[in-house]
Structure 1
Amino acid sequence: MRRTSLCAAAVSAAVLSVVSPVNAAPSPVQSQPDSTQVNRPFERLIVGYKPGTAEASSDSAASDDVRQKGKSLHRRMASGAVVVDLGSKTSNADSTIQAFKADPDVAYVEPDLLMQPLADPNDTDYSRQWDLFEATAGMNVPGAWSSSTGAGVTVAVIDTGYVAHSDLSARIVAGYDFVSDASRARDGGGRDSNPADEGDWMKAGDCGTDANGNPVPAQDQNSSWHGTHVAGTIAASTNNSKGIAGIAYDAKIQPLRVLAQCGGSTSDIADAITWASGGTVSGVPANPTPAKVINMSLGGQSSCSTTYQNAINGAINRGTTVVVAAGNSNMNVANFTPANCSGVITVAATSREGNKAFYSNYGSRIDIAAPGGETRRGTDTPGTITTPENGIYSTLNTGATTPGSETYKPYQGTSMAAPHIAGLAALLVAKKPSITPADVKTLIKNNARPLPGTCSGGCGAGLADATKTVNALTTTPPPSGGALENTTDVAIPDLGTGVSSITSSASGNASSTVKVGVDIVHTYRGDLVIDLIAPDGTAYRLKNSSSSDSTDNVVATYTVNASSEVAAGTWKLRVQDVYSGDTGYINAWNLTLQ
């Protein structure tokens, strides 16, 4: 049944019920753990000082304050917060944390957690990429390529770095190594301009013990070459007679290394987010090719920290879309970061049959689902993958520890789902460079299709559909041209109103005819009521709503018989969404006074 319209009072109530500030307290059902309570070892804290305090601007003042609390200052972050050395790995630094919390100059304090790659590696060319083209649960990518291939867009892959692969080499632009700990970096030092993946292999217990005294990791692990696998899904070279096809195969990949032995620290990852999106990081040269899309297939169990949220807010404000894997614990994503941070696109994983993958996190914070693969291990021969064909096939390396030869293998995980959405975001940005991160998110969600299988707990808007999403992004100029034009995007909220203005400086009066060309992006145009508002306040109805008109978008020219007294001044296009369930935006419109 079609949605029902609401009276004005009900519309206001509905809008207010879903809008909450970034820092609003979560409801009891969605409660999150204190970000200072963790179950994995950490050896540093991130401390943010209040604006105006000496410690916020002076390294010496901050160092003195930290020293008074029995610790040492490690470095200052791009955000202005400082990183504090604890002196050893721990899963509980309560006394030090409480000392900082009690300091009136401190705004926040949180552990500098190590994030982990969110993939489940297995051991298994375009024909293997069911995730791109299969009708049941593929992402319907090939049909989008006639409209966009990602040209002109840089996608930052914040991950383990990049190991050389001939199916990716033409797509790589200069990145950076943000791993600040020389002991984990394996490249002889800390941060540098070489984001080469040096391997993230670990021996059991290399990373300390958890709160229960269990070794981390519990068993030996080989290098994953995780960032290279992610990059292949996004932008592997295509039509080159080898390997696999990337979703946004004309986009560029900017590898940013943050994950090394034992994972990656929050402070390094946050600085990488800032730098990738064109922000400034102390001691790091400016990014010559800022990314319009960031992929983070990483995470850990915690609430969204202030450190992450500040970095993400900065990236989004600079026009960069941030895509994050939901996590592989089959738990509520509300408790996993940075997937639970505001403004990001949080991605769950689906199987080849279209179900939520058995490992994927779920919940109301999921925005969209994408293919992540689902393989199984044999019970008679442990370690044997019984269904490698159901994984996500991408670029990899054979090295167990240090790099070997290039290869391709299937992985599974929300790490594999997220780059599908990052690739789709790159297709959208390439088609319309002015598109905002919020519009990217809305388009992807509004053009999803229902999961062909099942999802218990919440998989967002459904399974992403690349062709429908890209086709919904029209860049066609408003019909008829116009002496006056406005091409600035204006959002039309669900059950809300968007208003765009054009100012006429013409002298004298208009004739009785005004032509209005409109280009509105919306996934259910029957929801919309469109009015032209003249400078004297007179409203001319251009379009009424129609609950049966389910077609996407409004691209049309309207003729208005206007008053002869209203030529000069500000004209407004008012677009109201009077039903629930869909959103969109005014892409462009023009006005001709005749």
Structure 2
Amino acid sequence: MRGSRRTRISLLAAATTAALLGTGVTTVLAAPGPDAAATPGASVAKAVPTERIIVGYTARADEATSNTEARDDARDKGEDVGESLDFKRRLGTGAALVDLGDKLGTKDVKDVMAAYAADPDVAYVVPDTRMYAAAAPDDTYYPRQWDLFEDRAGMNVPGAWAKGATGEGVNVSVIDTGYVNHSDLAANVVSGYDFISDAWMAQDGGGRDSDPADPGDWMNRGECGTDRNGQPVPARDTNNSWHGTHVAGTIAASGNNAKGVTGIAHRAKVQPVRVLGKCGGTTADIIDAITWSSGGTVQGVTGNPYPADVINMSLGGGGACDAGTQSAINAAVNRGTTVVVAAGNSNANAANFNPASCKNVIAVAAADRQGNRAVYSNYGSAVDITAPGGETSPNTADGILSTLNSGTRGIGSENYVAYQGTSMAAPHIAGLAALMYQTSPGITPAQIESAIKSNARPLPGTCSGGCGAGLADATTTLSALGAR
């Protein structure tokens, strides 16, 4: 167990002050403004007026069994403090539920409770408090995150949160395009590294350095050469993807901050490790990134202060797993790091893609909102598990909503956009793995994979070609680890 991981579990305490759940659904995907936190229904705690109290009488008291006596007692105590009290009903425990009449101020409620507490026939008196679901966050766009909670094809994440799993104390490295600043992620981002060694590909004015900021990965048609058929790569001009920031948001966007989306492991620390820029990335850079992220040594690079419990690689290329990448993955797993990879988006056999076909990884296929294998998702025996990846056509609401930026060829303003892909499915599993590390700190990568697969449920739709063990289920998996 790495020293940064803590096993403390945060639970919602019953109290007369509760955090109200957000209920509004907005169709605008720009980042909420600075006043979002003050909106009714946001995370600002609001005092809930006490309208009833629960009175437990001692066994010797007549009021403990007689509703008439309990009613008379309520009337008498009400007269004593100048309020109108009324016995409502008997609870299953035998306690009396007493209505306070008009909504009383805090002082008046205390006076009523003090009158009961002073009675030697009263064992206890407590407010009848209002409670709310412990797991559902108040983030503005959470109602649009079907991939987390919908019964049919969601990953059943709220039940895992209800068990106290948030990813707290767990480190997740996102080996991708880097990170563009986003206020819904910033609290959970730790320092990373830029492993792009080619300055032209890096597009940030230099080669490798300690700044994993994503300047954008836009490309002009044909800028990256030609494919095997002599066609220009890319086939058309492209704008910035901000891919790494989208992936990171699915894993660890801040939860219960009354804005945007919530990550699956919304208290985990996410580390941006940049390997993809203009025209993609190189195997050599990715190998070094895997090594460094997992706590290994890379010549000329200062050691990682946040060695990863989980690595997410939503990237890939054609061909079977190469020996160099496999060696880096094996070493990472031997250090205790779980490696999660995307199966690929070519509607083809994942065995022909790298790193999806590597051993000792969790290769993730994508499901659509109906629980079918997404039309683009790779498949086959190399796939270990399926997770929500979405389909944005014809309906963007069926994609995976996460953190992004509006800039097309430069950095713009933060926003939220729905993407589709096995790149979106993989971080669902990385987030689940983070919850598992928090719940069971001594767990190994092999046990992580086994538990996710053995607790998956069948896809509710169809899958041709092989979708691994089925659709991942966060709640069932955490329950299997003993989380309560």
* TM-score of the aligned structures, taking structure 1 as reference length: 0.57
- Taking the aligned partners of 1:303 and 1:403, their CA distance within structure 2 comes to 35
Match of 2:194 among 177, 186, 195: 177
Letter in 1 for 2:160: A
- Taking the aligned partners of 2:376 and 2:229, their CA distance within structure 1 comes to 23
The residue correspondences of 1:146-185 to structure 2 (distance < 5 A) are 146-147=162-163, 148-185=165-202
Deviations 1:217-257 (A, max 9, x none): 11111110000000000010010000001100010000000
- Whether 1:133 aligns to 2:149 is yes
1:474 is aligned to 482
Letter in 2 for 1:390: D
- Whether 1:238 aligns to 2:255 is yes
2:442 is aligned to 434
2:417 is aligned to 409
- Taking the aligned partners of 1:402 and 1:308, their CA distance within structure 2 comes to 32
2:101 is aligned to none
1:375 is aligned to 392
Contact 2:392 2:418 (8 Å CA) reproduced: no
1:84 is aligned to none
- Whether 1:319 aligns to 2:357 is no
Deviations 1:278-322 (A, max 9, x none): 000001000011010000000001110011100000000000000
Percent identity of paired positions between Structure 1 and Structure 2:
69
Deviations 1:252-286 (A, max 9, x none): 00000000000010000110000000000001000
- Taking the aligned partners of 1:414 and 1:154, their CA distance within structure 2 comes to 22
Deviations 1:412-440 (A, max 9, x none): 00000000000000000011111000000
- Whether 1:226 aligns to 2:234 is no
- Whether 1:448 aligns to 2:453 is no
Shift of 1:214: 1.0
* Aligned alpha-carbon RMSD (Å): 0.9
2:37 is aligned to none
- Taking the aligned partners of 2:258 and 2:402, their CA distance within structure 1 comes to 15
Per the alignment, in what secondary structure is the counterpart of residue 264 of structure 1? Answer: coil
1:511 is aligned to none
Letter in 1 for 2:254: S
Match of 1:276 among 278, 293, 299: 293
Moved more, 180-189 or 152-161: 180-189
- Whether 1:287 aligns to 2:301 is no
2:35 is aligned to none
Per the alignment, in what secondary structure is the counterpart of residue 165 of structure 1? Answer: coil
2:8 is aligned to none
Match of 1:461 among 466, 469, 475: 469
Contact 2:250 2:264 (8 Å CA) reproduced: yes
1:359 is aligned to 376
Letter in 1 for 2:225: G
1:302 is aligned to 319
1:144 is aligned to 160
- Taking the aligned partners of 1:433 and 1:246, their CA distance within structure 2 comes to 20
2:408 is aligned to 400
Per the alignment, in what secondary structure is the counterpart of residue 340 of structure 2? Answer: strand
Shift of 1:201: 0.4
Per the alignment, in what secondary structure is the counterpart of residue 322 of structure 1? Answer: strand
Higher strand share: 1
The residue correspondences of 1:40-79 to structure 2 (distance < 5 A) are none
Letter in 1 for 2:190: V
Letter in 2 for 1:349: A
Deviations 1:139-192 (A, max 9, x none): 000000133110000100000000000000000001000000011111111000
Per the alignment, in what secondary structure is the counterpart of residue 162 of structure 2? Answer: coil
Shift of 1:365: 1.0
- Taking the aligned partners of 1:146 and 1:452, their CA distance within structure 2 comes to 24
Letter in 1 for 2:406: T
- Taking the aligned partners of 2:148 and 2:473, their CA distance within structure 1 comes to 10
Moved more, 141-150 or 273-282: 141-150
The one of the two structures with greater contact order (alpha-carbon pairs below 8 A, sep at least 6) is 2
- Taking the aligned partners of 1:176 and 1:402, their CA distance within structure 2 comes to 21
Shift of 1:211: 2.2
1:116 is aligned to none
Runs of 4+ in 1 over 6 A off after TM superposition: none
Higher helix share: 2
2:431 is aligned to 423
Letter in 2 for 1:370: A
- Taking the aligned partners of 1:222 and 1:345, their CA distance within structure 2 comes to 30
Letter in 2 for 1:434: G
Shift of 1:401: 1.4
The residue correspondences of 1:209-224 to structure 2 (distance < 5 A) are 209-224=226-241
- Whether 1:205 aligns to 2:213 is no
Contact 2:168 2:438 (8 Å CA) reproduced: yes
Per the alignment, in what secondary structure is the counterpart of residue 347 of structure 1? Answer: strand
- Taking the aligned partners of 1:403 and 1:268, their CA distance within structure 2 comes to 24
Shift of 1:475: 6.9
- Whether 1:346 aligns to 2:363 is yes
Per the alignment, in what secondary structure is the counterpart of residue 316 of structure 2? Answer: strand
Shift of 1:375: 2.0
Contact 2:171 2:269 (8 Å CA) reproduced: yes
Unaligned runs of 5+ in 1: 1-124, 377-385, 477-594
Letter in 2 for 1:437: P
- Taking the aligned partners of 2:406 and 2:483, their CA distance within structure 1 comes to 44
Deviations 1:336-393 (A, max 9, x none): 00010001000000000000000000001110000000122xxxxxxxxx30110000
* Pair member with larger Rg: 2
Number of aligned residues: 343
